[in-house]
């Protein structure tokens, strides 16, 4: 098979060079050019010098953190109790099913639900809180982002819990641990890898959800992704956009090292 190896690696290697390595190098290269096409460091100076960009980056990371936290708090119990049900594979399939619906359609649904006369406001009136401005607020952005990410958090955690050896739990109970001790000392530490994979799968996309900031956040929230989209497609300042892109890549690498495992979409829909 040796002889053929060189032959069938050609298209793949070409892909690696042209679509993985070249674009990454180009985005770094582009970040050193200003809007007039001159080679400078001014983009980085602007980025680190003016408070606006740093504040935007901090805000974006903060929002991603809140979204990840909300998603984790909802997903962990779901995954845990899901793994105890009888038809767990079927239930899991039902959890994954919404991820097959186009993200934009889900965002669009919330434009209707959160609108002035929408279902969410009807509910608020019903419980006596009265109608509120829901759409185009930061809270609605966090809510919709968490809604979209929940299945991607449940799946890795579910897999980790499912792989857990039940005799460890029995052993812990036999040795006199309370339910809470069993959970905090045995179950949670042993499923931490699933949590890490889930955090990775949620945090990185949350930094770049520009369509949600536009459709749901009403430009009140600006994430790194929104800023990149704005610079590339609206103001046409590719250099600055690339600089923010480089920052996003660095953030991504940091998160990947912090959470250890290198898997995202692959674990998404199994």
Partner 1 sequence: MKRKWYDWRNVYLWLVFLLLYAPIFYLIFYSFNAGTTMTHFTGFSWQHYAELFADTRMIEIVLDTLLIALLSSLLATIIGTLGALAIYGIKKVWLKNSILSLNNILMVSPDVIIGASFLIFFTFLGLRLGFSSVLLSHIAFSIPIVVLMVLPKLSEMNHSLIDAATDLGATNLQVLTRVVFPFITPGILTGFFMAFTYSLDDFAVTFFVTGNGFETLSVEIYARARQGISLEVNALSALMFLFSLLLIGGYYFIEQYNSSKKERRRNRMEAKLIK
Smallest gap, in angstroms, from Cβ of residue 58 to partner 1?
Answer: 18
Interacting span for partner 1 (CB under 8 A) from 8-16, 41-49, 125-133, 179-187: 8-16
Q: Which long-range contacts (CB under 8 A, 24 or more apart) does 139-142 make?
A: 140/110, 140/114, 140/216, 140/217, 141/63, 141/212, 141/213, 141/216, 141/217, 141/220, 141/221, 142/63, 142/66, 142/67, 142/70
Smallest gap, in angstroms, from Cβ of residue 258 to partner 1?
Answer: 13
Q: Which is nearer to partner 1, 27 or 145 (CB)?
A: 27
Q: Contacting partner 1 (CB under 8 A), which of 49, 98, 189, 260?
A: 98
Q: Contacting partner 1 (CB under 8 A), which of 87, 117, 126, 167?
A: 117
Q: Contacting partner 1 (CB under 8 A), which of 66, 69, 113, 177?
A: 113
Q: Is 99 helix (H, G, I), strand (E, B) or coil?
A: helix
Q: Is 258 in the site for partner 1 (CB under 8 A)?
A: no
Smallest gap, in angstroms, from Cβ of residue 52 to partner 1?
Answer: 19
With b for 16 or more beta-carbon neighbours within 10 A and e for fewer, the 95-115 pattern comes to bbeebeeeeeeebeebeebbe
Interacting span for partner 1 (CB under 8 A) from 41-49, 157-165, 169-177, 206-214: 206-214
Q: Is 19 in the site for partner 1 (CB under 8 A)?
A: yes
Distance CA 3, CA 20 (A): 26
Residue 162: both structure tokens together? 């499912």
**Per-residue interface string for the shown chain with partner 1, residues 70-89, x marking contact by CB under 8 A:** ----x--xx--xx-xxx---
Q: 237 — alpha (psi -120 to 50), left (phi > 0) or beta?
A: beta
| Eight-state DSSP code of residue 230 | I
Q: Contacting partner 1 (CB under 8 A), which of 153, 160, 215, 221?
A: 215
Biggest distance spanned by C-alpha atoms of the chain? 75
Q: Which is nearer to partner 1, 1 or 175 (CB)?
A: 1
Interacting span for partner 1 (CB under 8 A) from 18-26, 53-61, 126-134, 178-186: 18-26
Contact residues for 112 (Cβ-Cβ < 8 A; gap 6+): 118, 119
For residue 83, give the H/E element and its range.
none
Q: Contacting partner 1 (CB under 8 A), which of 36, 102, 167, 236?
A: 102
How many residues in the chain?
270
Smallest Cα–Cα separation from 138: which of 222, 244, 68?
Answer: 222
Q: Is 91 in the site for partner 1 (CB under 8 A)?
A: yes
**Per-residue interface string for the shown chain with partner 1, residues 156-185, x marking contact by CB under 8 A:** ------------------------------
């Amino acid at each position: 098979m040796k002889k053929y190896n060189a032959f069938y690696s050609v298209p793949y290697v070409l892909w690696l060079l042209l679509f993985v390595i070249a674009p990454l190098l180009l985005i770094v290269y582009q970040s050193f050019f200003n809007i007039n096409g001159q080679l400078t460091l001014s983009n980085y100076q602007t980025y680190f010098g003016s408070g606006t960009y740093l504040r935007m980056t901090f805000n974006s990371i903060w929002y991603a953190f809140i979204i990840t936290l909300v998603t984790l708090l909802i997903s962990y119990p779901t995954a845990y109790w899901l793994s105890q049900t009888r038809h767990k594979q079927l239930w899991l399939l039902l959890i994954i099913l919404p991820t097959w619906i186009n993200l934009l359609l889900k965002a669009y649904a919330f434009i209707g639900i959160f609108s002035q006369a929408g279902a969410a406001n009807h509910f608020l009136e019903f419980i006596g809180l009265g109608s509120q401005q829901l759409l185009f607020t930061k809270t609605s952005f966090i809510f919709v982002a968490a809604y979209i990410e929940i299945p991607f958090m449940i799946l890795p955690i579910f897999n980790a819990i499912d792989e857990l050896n039940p005799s460890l739990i029995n052993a812990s109970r036999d040795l006199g641990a309370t339910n809470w001790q069993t959970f905090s000392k045995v179950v949670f530490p042993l499923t931490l890898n699933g949590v890490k994979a889930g955090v990775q799968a949620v945090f990185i996309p949350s930094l770049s959800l520009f369509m949600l900031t536009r459709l749901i956040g009403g430009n009140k929230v600006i994430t790194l992704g929104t800023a990149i989209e704005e610079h590339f497609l609206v103001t046409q300042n590719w250099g600055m956009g690339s600089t923010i892109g480089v920052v996003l890549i660095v953030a991504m690498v940091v998160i990947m090292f912090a959470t250890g495992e290198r898997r995202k979409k692959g674990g998404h829909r199994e």
